[in-house]
C-alpha cells in the first residue's frame, strides 16, 4: 500500500469518527427515559441527566473518539515521513454502528465482575497470574433494558493464525524437550480451542450467568460481532473456532454491520422523541399526595400575584406573653418579637412558593385534565395504604387547620355526605375530580383491581430496589441498636445503622413510608402519584446503582415476558414510540398551610401548634408533610 493510499484510508477513518462524534447527541434521543410523569418541572429530569452522562460509558466513548481524531490529525499533518500510526478507529466505528442499531441503549463499555475460573493448563497458568477472585469482563453494548449484551472484536485472521502457531510451538516443544515423566497431561495440553476468541466467548457467557437480567433469573442474550475474521481454506481452525463459539450459545455475527452512520442525521430529531407516559386508571397515592389533597393551598382561592402569595404566608410572629399585663413596660402596647431566619420564615417561604405553583398549575386541574385526555369515558380509582392513611390522621392532629382536618376525615369515608364534606369551602365544585372520594385502602387480595399485563422492566427494577432498601432496614432493626421501631426513626438514623452493616445505605432523602408506598404501587402494577420529589430522585439513583452493581434479589418467579414489554420501547417503522405506562407521577408538594396564613389569630391554639412545629425544625415539618 502506498503512502497516498494509506493516508486516504486514514482520512476516511478520521471523517467517519468525526461524523460519529457529531451524531452522539442524537443517540440520546433514542435512550428510553424512565416512565415518570414529571409535572411542572420539565427542566428537572427525575430519571437521568439530560446529557451524555445519561448513558454510563458514553462520555468515555466520546473521549475515545476525540482522542482518535486528534491522533489521526497529527499523523495526517506530518505525512508519510512519520512512523506508522496504530489506530483503534475500526473498533470504535464498529461499536458506534452497534450503538446506533440498539433500540434502547443502557450502557457502553461496561465491565462485569465475574468469578474467576481455575486455569485449565500450564499455558493459562503462565498467562493469567491473577490473585483476584473475580475478573472484569467487558461488554461493549448493553441494550434492550439489559436483556442484550454485544461485544465487538476486531481480531484478524493473521492474529488468530499467530495464536495457533504459538500453541503448536508450545506443544511441539514439550514433546521434543521434556522427559516423558515431566509431560503435561493430555487433558491440560493447550490446543486450538484455547485461542482468545473462544476464551472471550466463555468469559462472556460466565458473566451473563453471574449477572441475570434485572428483575429475573435469566441471563442476558450475548452477541459477538467478529468484524474481520473470515474462514480460510489454509487454516480450517478459524472456521472451527467460529462454529465452536456458536455451539457455546453465543449469537455470532461475522463481518462489519452495514454502516448506518448517516441514518440518525437523516431523521428529523422530533421523530426520535419518546411519547409521554400514560398513567394507569388505578392510581396509588402516597402520604405526600394525601397531604396535598387536603391542603388549604390546593383548595383556597389562588393568589393573583406572587406578592399576594407572600402577603398571605408572611411569617407569623409569636408574642412572648399571653396578655398585655405581662409585657415589659417599654413594650406594652403589643410589640412583637421580630422574626428571625428560623423555621418560621423558612416554612413561610416554602408555602409562598407552593401557593405560586398552585396559581400556575393547579393540582386538581392537572389530575382532571390527564384522565379526561386518556380515559374520557372511564372514572379513575384511587388507592392508598393503611399506613399512609394512619400517618395522615396523626399529622392532622398536630398541625392541620379545621378545614384540612374535615377533608382528611372525609377522604376515606364511605358516608353518603363524604364527598360534599370534602369539597365544602373549596374553590372547586363537588366531584371536580371524579372517583377521588372515597380513596380505597389497599388489601392483599383486592379483587377489584383488574389483572393487568406483566410488570414492566422499570416496575420490576423499582420493586427490586424498594425490597433491597427495606431488607437493609429490617436487618438493622434486628440488631441490638435498633430497639426503636425503624418506621418511626429519622431516615438519617436508619441510614447510619444500615451503613454499619453494609457498604451501601439508603439516601437520606428517602422516607421509609414513601419507599413502602412505591413498592406497593410497583407490585400492583399501578401508577404511584407522589409529591415527594426528593425521595423519587433518590430512589431512581438507587435503582441505577443497584442495577450497575448487579444486586439481584431472589425472585419468586419470572417477571412476565420482558421481550413483549420491550416492544413498547422500540422505535416502530414509522419512527414513533408507543407511550409507555407511567410507573411514577410526580407533582410539586402542597403543605398543610391553613394555620400558617397571615390572617389567622397568632395566639390561637392552632397557630401555636404550627409555630412550635415550624420553629423546632422546618425541614422536619416539610418532611412530615410528605415532601
The CB-based long-range contact list for 598-605 (8 Å cut-off, 24+ gap) reads 598/311, 598/312, 598/313, 598/314, 598/316, 599/312, 600/316, 600/401, 602/316, 602/317, 602/318, 602/319, 603/319, 603/322
Count of other CB atoms within 10 angstroms of residue 387:
18
What average pLDDT does the segment 130-146 reach?
82
- Write down the pLDDT at residue 357: 86
| Helix (H) or strand (E) segment spanning residue 15 | helix 3-30
- Write down the pLDDT at residue 622: 42
First-last CA distance in the chain: 68
DSSP per residue, 71-136: HHHHHHHHGGGSPPP---HHHHHHHHHHHHH-SSEEEEEEEEEEEPPPP-SHHHHHH----SSEEE
Q: If pLDDT is split at 50, 70 and 90, which confidence band does 392 have? A: very high
- Write down the pLDDT at residue 584: 94
- Write down the pLDDT at residue 44: 56
Stronger pLDDT, 240 or 134, i.e. the higher one:
240
For residue 105, pLDDT over 70 is answered with: yes
- Write down the pLDDT at residue 261: 45
- Write down the pLDDT at residue 600: 64
For residue 225, pLDDT over 90 is answered with: yes
For residue 321, pLDDT over 80 is answered with: no
- Write down the pLDDT at residue 554: 40
Q: What is the pLDDT of residues 587-616, one digit of tens each?
A: 998 988 887 777 766 556 655 665 555 544
3-state SS, one letter per residue, for 444-511:
CCCCCCCCCCCCCHHHHHHHHHHHHHHHHHHHHHCCCCCCCCHHHCCHHHHHHHHHHHCCCCCCCCCC
| Helix (H) or strand (E) segment spanning residue 141 | strand 134-143
For residue 482, pLDDT over 60 is answered with: no
Q: If pLDDT is split at 50, 70 and 90, which confidence band does 330 have? A: very low
What average pLDDT does the segment 138-166 reach?
90
What average pLDDT does the segment 178-206 reach?
72
For residue 383, pLDDT over 80 is answered with: yes
- Write down the pLDDT at residue 519: 92
- Write down the pLDDT at residue 586: 93
For residue 178, pLDDT over 60 is answered with: no
Distances 335 to 102, 316, 323 between C-alpha atoms, Å = 70, 13, 12
Q: If pLDDT is split at 50, 70 and 90, which confidence band does 175 have? A: low
Stronger pLDDT, 497 or 247, i.e. the higher one:
247
Give buried/exposed letters for 521-555 (b at 16+ CB in 10 A, else e): bbbbbbbbbbbbbbbbbbbbbbbbebbbeeebeee
Q: If pLDDT is split at 50, 70 and 90, which confidence band does 450 have? A: very low
What average pLDDT does the segment 118-140 reach?
67
* Cell numbers linked to 52: 451524555
Three-class DSSP category at 570: coil
- Of 89, 88, 103, 92, the C-alpha closest to 27 is 103
For residue 558, pLDDT over 50 is answered with: no
Stronger pLDDT, 251 or 561, i.e. the higher one:
251
For residue 498, pLDDT over 90 is answered with: no
What average pLDDT does the segment 166-178 reach?
66
CA–CA gap between residue 494 and residue 491 (Å, rounded): 5
- Write down the pLDDT at residue 317: 57
134-143 and 148-153 as β-strands: parallel, antiparallel, unpaired? antiparallel
Q: By the 8 A CB rule, do 558 and 8 touch? A: no
For residue 347, pLDDT over 90 is answered with: no
For residue 517, pLDDT over 50 is answered with: yes
List of residues 6+ apart from 135 with CB closer than 8 A: 113, 114, 116, 203
- Write down the pLDDT at residue 199: 92
- Of 614, 616, 595, the C-alpha closest to 604 is 595
For residue 538, pLDDT over 90 is answered with: no
> What is the average pLDDT score of the chain?
75
Backbone angles phi, psi at 156, to 5 degrees: -100, 165
- Of 540, 552, 528, 527, the C-alpha closest to 464 is 552
For residue 83, pLDDT over 90 is answered with: no
- Write down the pLDDT at residue 474: 64
Q: By the 8 A CB rule, do 466 and 518 touch? A: yes
List of residues 6+ apart from 210 with CB closer than 8 A: 112, 114, 115, 550
List of residues 6+ apart from 573 with CB closer than 8 A: none
For residue 186, pLDDT over 90 is answered with: no
3-state SS, one letter per residue, for 286-349:
CHHHHHHHHCHHHHCCCCCCHHHHHHHCCCCCCCCCCCHHHCCHHHCCCCCCCCCCCHHHHHHH
- Write down the pLDDT at residue 552: 47
For residue 585, pLDDT over 90 is answered with: yes
CA–CA gap between residue 200 and residue 185 (Å, rounded): 24
Q: If pLDDT is split at 50, 70 and 90, which confidence band does 437 have? A: very high
- Write down the pLDDT at residue 504: 47
Edge-first strand order for the sheet with 36-38 is: 36-38, 584-586, 527-530, 282-285, 381-384, 440-441
From start to end of 8-75, where are the E strands?
Answer: 36-38
List of residues 6+ apart from 78 with CB closer than 8 A: none
Count of other CB atoms within 10 angstroms of residue 230:
12
Q: Name the DSSP class of 235.
A: B
- Write down the pLDDT at residue 410: 96
For residue 244, pLDDT over 90 is answered with: yes
Amino acid at each position: 500500500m502506498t503512502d497516498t493510499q494509506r493516508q486516504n484510508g486514514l482520512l476516511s477513518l478520521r471523517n467517519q469518527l468525526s461524523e460519529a462524534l457529531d451524531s452522539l447527541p442524537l443517540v440520546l434521543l433514542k435512550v428510553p427515559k424512565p416512565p415518570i410523569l414529571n409535572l411542572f418541572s420539565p427542566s428537572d429530569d427525575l430519571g437521568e441527566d439530560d446529557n451524555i452522562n445519561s448513558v454510563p460509558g458514553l462520555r468515555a466513548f466520546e473521549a475515545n473518539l476525540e482522542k482518535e481524531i486528534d491522533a489521526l490529525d497529527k499523523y495526517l499533518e506530518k505525512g508519510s515521513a512519520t512512523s506508522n500510526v496504530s489506530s483503534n478507529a475500526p473498533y470504535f466505528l464498529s461499536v458506534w454502528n452497534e450503538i446506533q442499531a440498539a433500540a434502547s441503549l443502557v450502557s457502553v463499555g461496561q465491565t462485569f465482575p465475574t468469578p474467576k475460573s481455575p486455569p485449565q493448563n500450564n499455558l493459562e497458568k503462565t498467562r493469567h497470574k491473577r490473585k483476584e477472585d473475580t475478573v472484569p469482563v467487558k461488554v461493549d453494548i448493553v441494550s434492550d433494558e439489559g436483556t442484550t449484551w454485544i461485544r465487538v472484536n476486531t481480531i484478524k485472521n493473521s492474529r488468530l493464525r499467530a495464536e495457533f502457531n504459538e500453541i503448536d510451538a508450545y506443544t511441539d516443544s514439550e514433546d521434543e524437550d521434556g522427559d516423558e515423566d515431566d509431560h503435561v497431561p493430555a487433558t491440560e495440553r493447550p490446543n486450538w480451542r484455547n485461542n482468545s476468541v473462544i476464551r472471550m466467548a466463555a468469559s462472556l457467557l460466565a458473566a451473563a450467568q453471574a449477572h441475570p437480567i434485572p428483575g429475573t433469573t435469566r441471563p442476558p442474550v450475548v452477541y459477538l460481532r467478529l468484524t474481520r475474521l473470515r474462514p480460510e481454506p489454509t487454516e480450517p481452525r478459524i472456521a472451527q473456532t467460529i462454529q465452536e463459539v456458536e455451539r457455546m450459545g453465543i449469537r455470532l455475527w461475522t463481518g462489519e454491520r452495514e454502516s448506518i452512520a448517516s441514518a440518525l442525521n437523516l431523521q428529523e430529531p422530533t421523530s426520535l422523541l419518546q411519547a409521554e407516559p400514560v398513567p394507569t386508571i388505578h392510581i396509588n397515592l402516597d402520604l405526600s399526595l394525601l397531604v396535598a389533597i387536603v391542603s388549604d393551598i390546593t383548595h383556597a382561592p389562588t393568589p393573583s400575584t406572587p406578592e399576594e402569595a407572600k402577603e398571605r404566608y408572611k411569617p407569623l410572629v409569636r408574642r412572648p406573653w399571653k396578655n398585655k399585663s405581662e409585657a415589659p413596660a417599654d413594650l406594652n402596647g403589643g410589640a412583637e418579637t421580630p422574626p428571625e431566619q428560623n423555621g418560621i420564615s423558612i416554612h413561610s417561604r416554602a408555602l409562598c412558593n407552593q401557593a405560586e405553583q398552585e396559581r400556575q398549575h393547579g393540582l386538581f386541574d392537572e389530575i382532571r385534565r390527564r384522565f379526561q385526555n386518556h380515559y374520557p369515558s372511564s372514572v379513575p380509582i384511587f388507592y392508598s395504604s393503611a399506613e399512609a392513611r394512619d400517618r395522615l390522621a396523626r399529622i392532622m392532629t398536630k398541625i392541620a387547620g379545621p378545614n384540612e382536618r374535615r377533608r382528611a376525615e372525609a377522604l376515606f369515608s364511605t358516608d353518603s355526605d363524604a364527598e360534599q364534606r370534602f369539597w365544602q369551602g373549596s374553590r372547586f365544585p363537588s366531584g371536580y375530580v371524579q372517583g377521588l372520594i372515597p380513596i380505597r385502602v389497599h388489601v392483599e387480595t383486592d379483587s377489584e383491581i383488574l389483572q393487568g399485563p406483566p410488570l414492566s422492566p422499570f416496575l420490576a427494577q423499582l420493586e427490586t430496589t424498594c425490597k433491597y432498601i427495606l431488607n437493609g432496614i429490617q436487618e438493622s432493626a434486628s440488631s441490638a441498636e435498633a430497639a426503636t421501631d425503624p418506621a418511626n426513626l429519622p431516615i438519617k438514623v436508619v441510614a447510619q445503622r444500615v451503613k454499619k452493616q453494609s457498604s451501601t445505605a439508603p439516601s437520606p432523602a428517602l422516607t421509609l413510608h414513601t419507599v413502602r408506598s412505591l413498592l406497593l404501587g410497583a407490585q400492583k402494577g399501578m401508577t404511584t402519584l407522589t409529591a415527594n420529589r426528593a425521595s423519587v430522585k433518590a430512589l431512581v439513583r438507587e435503582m441505577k446503582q443497584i442495577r450497575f452493581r448487579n444486586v439481584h434479589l431472589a425472585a419468586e418467579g419470572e417477571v412476565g415476558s420482558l421481550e413483549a414489554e420491550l416492544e413498547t420501547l422500540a422505535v416502530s417503522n414509522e419512527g414513533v414510540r408507543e407511550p409507555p405506562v407511567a410507573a411514577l407521577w410526580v407533582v410539586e408538594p402542597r403543605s398543610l398551610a391553613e394555620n400558617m396564613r397571615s390572617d389567622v389569630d397568632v395566639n390561637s391554639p392552632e397557630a401555636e401548634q404550627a409555630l412550635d412545629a415550624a420553629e423546632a425544625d422546618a425541614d422536619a415539618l416539610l418532611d412530615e408533610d410528605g415532601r
